[in-house]
Amino acid sequence: MATTLGQELQSSGKIDSLLDNLVEQALVYSQRITGVKPPDPALEGEAKKAVDEIGAVRSRPLYYNYVGSGVGRGPYVELNDGSVKLDLINGIGIHLFGHSHPRVIRAALRGALSDIVQQGNLQPNGEYLEYSRKLGQLAGKNSRLKYTWLATCGTMANENALKIARQKNRGARMVVTFKNAFAGRSTMMTEITDNMAFKVGMPDYNEVLRLPFYDAKAPDKTLIALKEHVAKHGKNIAVFAFEPMLGEGGYRAANNAFYVPLLEFCKAQGIAVWADEIQTFTRTGNFFAFETLCIGQYVDICTVAKTGQNGATLFTEEFKPDPGLLGGTFSGSSAALRAGLEIFRMLEEDGYMGPSGKVMQIHNDFVGMLNDLNETSCKGLLREAGGMGLMVAVTPLDGSKDKQGQLLKSLFKSGLICFGCGSDPFRIRFLLPAILTSADIAVAKKILEKSILECA
């Protein structure tokens, strides 16, 4: 049978055993990590210099004194100051299998052996096809999504989604979305984002209409607001863009009964339905939150990124863009595409998905731990623990911005990394890795308890 040199390279037994060797050597360092550890005084000075220099070169300081050393082990990561932290934010949700995962490293190394570093939309290699095909297969199981266009980050995937929706609706401009939405950092995604601190000095383009998010006490008010917008703006509304669970906005979840009337109404009005799953993708016990919420049939466009190691816009037959609308130089690095494919394989084959899969077990154990603290030693100081799957948030202390900031810094110092979300109340959120064990959750519990009582 005829083969290309590329196929020979990828199936070479010699390369396979060299890759095994390389991963084994890297793990020698990884395995020396045994748990949370304070900084090493002999390394602290240089490490602080690197942190300060990052602040200087980019003009804005880092939020945490964090520069990673390049070695980690599962949910634990070593920093340049020699400390080891329990990382429960994972690059804001990128490292689903934590740090130094042998299968992820191996897949990335294999990708790195490719003739090029970055794949492009003009000259793709095989990984471009494999990755796009896989996403299409996964998305198509419970929706009409069929096509995949790759992008190098979530924001760019979202920009493509918006263009597709607008083109389909003949240049209609307006976007309907939730209050407290987050959509990324480009000009238009910042406009869709409902956080004034992220757009100080930016002009208002007046292209975004807001809906209140789910409120159990007044479940109809979102649909009423949508109908009012449609009565006023009619065919000038191109798309309803929504995060299936509010992310930056405070980790607020809603249910099928909330979404269905909204989506039915959008369909009846010809408003495109775009699910921004950049944060929810792979985290809710299914690949897509639209599956968990049973709303896949309504989705016209869906965007993903983060845990897939690459961005992508998925869309249905009716939303195929005209030639020229989508393009761009980069479509993703060979290493990232290979690593993403390996992550999908593990998720599919190793018991992570479904109502009793590992993802939901971690969710239940972690939320249970937070509730336990809230009912015992930290009584009333960790309220409203919840979220979906591997996205969990809780309202700490008095829910103020000051206390949230103080707590995040205290947790970091004690060895636990998480991050904030929401406003009024200000919450702390965890993007949990899918490899978290009950022993790791016990470590998190101890640190949380200490910091909460310190900050109370």
454 close to 448: Cβ distance less than 8 angstroms? no
**C-beta nearest to ligand PLP: residue:** 154
Bridge partner residues of 429 (DSSP): 393, 419
Closer CB to ligand PLP, 174 or 189, in the complex: 189
Token couple for 253: 């979840």
State how far the Cα of 29 lies from the Cα of 25, in Å rounded to an integer: 7
User: Quick one: residue 426, left, alpha or beta (phi over 0 = left, psi -120 to 50 = alpha)?
Assistant: beta
Q: What residue type is assigned to position 390 of the chain? A: L
State how far the Cα of 284 lies from the Cα of 282, in Å rounded to an integer: 6
Closer CB to ligand PLP, 30 or 155, in the complex: 155
Least gap, CB of 455 to ligand PLP (angstroms): 26
Least gap, CB of 119 to ligand PLP (angstroms): 18
Closer CB to ligand PLP, 237 or 431, in the complex: 431
User: Environment class of residue 190 by beta-carbon count within 10 Å: exposed (0-12), middle (13-18) or buried (19+)?
Assistant: middle
Local structure of 284: helix, strand or coil = coil
Closer CB to ligand PLP, 243 or 291, in the complex: 243
Least gap, CB of 404 to ligand PLP (angstroms): 18
State how far the Cα of 284 lies from the Cα of 390, in Å rounded to an integer: 6
Closer CB to ligand PLP, 184 or 396, in the complex: 184
251 close to 393: Cβ distance less than 8 angstroms? yes
Closer CB to ligand PLP, 188 or 435, in the complex: 188
Token couple for 73: 């082990």
Least gap, CB of 93 to ligand PLP (angstroms): 7
Closer CB to ligand PLP, 279 or 423, in the complex: 279
Token couple for 364: 């239940």
Least gap, CB of 183 to ligand PLP (angstroms): 5
Least gap, CB of 258 to ligand PLP (angstroms): 18
452 close to 416: Cβ distance less than 8 angstroms? no
Closer CB to ligand PLP, 92 or 202, in the complex: 92
Kindly provide the b/e burial profile for residues 204-229, where b requires at least 16 CB atoms within 10 angstroms of the residue's own CB: eeeebbbbebbeeeeeeebeebbeeb
Least gap, CB of 152 to ligand PLP (angstroms): 9
Contact footprint for ligand PLP (CB under 6 A): 92, 153-155, 158, 182-184, 243, 247, 276, 278-279, 305
197 close to 421: Cβ distance less than 8 angstroms? no
State how far the Cα of 52 lies from the Cα of 64, in Å rounded to an integer: 11
